[in-house]
Amino acid sequence: MAKIGIVVFPGSNCDRDVHHVLNNVIGVQADFLWHTKDRISSYDAMIIPGGFAFGDRLRAGIIAAHSPIIQEVKRMAKDGMPVLGICNGFQILVESGLLPGALMMNDSLRFVCRWTKVEVKNNKTPFTSQFAPKQTFAIPVAHGEGRYMADSKIIKDLKKKNQIVLQYSNDDPNGSTNLIAAICNEEGNVMGMMPHPERASESILAAEGAGNDAITIFRSLVSNLKQKAIA
C-alpha cells in the first residue's frame, strides 16, 4: 500500500491539512517527517507543505532548502520519486535547485489570500493525470512571495518541454511570468505549485460555487502510486 511522507519544518502550518486530506478524505497513509531526518527509505512520494519554514528568514525557503531531509528528497527525486511542493514547499523546491526560476514578492507587495482559478496545461504528470486537458478549477492562494519569475531562456525551455503545469486563468494574483501557477521538472516527477489544494479538497471548505476539484491533485498522485505498485 502506498505511503506518503509530509516534510515538517519549524514554521510549517499546512502540514496537518495535507495529513488530514490524505489520511481521512482520500484514505492513503501519510506520515509527518521532521526536517532533521537524513535517511528515508519506506515512502513512495513526498509532499512539502505550505507555511513559513524557519520564519522565511533570509529568503522564503532558502534555509529549509539546506535541511538534511531536503538533501534526501533531492536524492529520491533523482530516482524518480514523486515530490510535490505547495506554496512554501514550491519555494523550497526552487531554492534547492529541483525546479528552475525564482519566487519573488507579489507585484502588489502585499500578502494575497483569496480564491482564484487555474487551468491545467499539462495533465501528464503524476499530480494532474486525473484532470481533463485544459480543465479549469477554483483554488485558494495565500502568499506574499508567489510571483514566479525566470529569464526568457528558462521560460522558453519550460514551454518547449511542457513543464508549465498550471496557469492562472485570466486572474493572476501575484504577477507571475506567463500566469504560471505550477511547474514541474523535465521528468515530470517534481512539481511546485503556489495555490493550496489541501484547502480546497472538501466541499465544506469551498467558496460558494467553487467546488472541490482541487482534490484531484492528490487523487492523481495516489492513482499514480497504485499504478506503479501494480506494474
Q: For 78-112, what is each residue's pLDDT tens digit?
A: 999 999 999 999 999 999 999 999 999 999 999 99
Average pLDDT of the residues in 155-180 = 96
Q: Which of 19, 35, 143, 196 is catalytic?
A: 196
Beta strands in the chain (DSSP E): 3-8, 29-34, 45-48, 83-86, 102-104, 112-120, 136-143, 147-149, 164-168, 180-184, 190-193
196 annotated active-site = yes
Query: What is the CA 202 to chain-centroid distance, rounded?
Result: 18
Q: Which of 35, 72, 87, 95 is catalytic?
A: 87
What are the domain boundaries of the chain?
A: 4-230
Indicate the pTM of the whole model.
0.96
Residue 195: pLDDT above 80? yes
CA angle 91/84/60 to nearest 5° reads 15
pLDDT band at 216 (very low <50, low <70, confident <90, very high): very high
Cα(110)–Cα(179) distance, integer angstroms:
18
Multiple choice CATH, 4-230, 3.40.50.1980, 3.30.230.10, 3.40.50.880, 3.30.300.130: 3.40.50.880
Cα(147)–Cα(153) distance, integer angstroms:
18
Cα(52)–Cα(195) distance, integer angstroms:
15
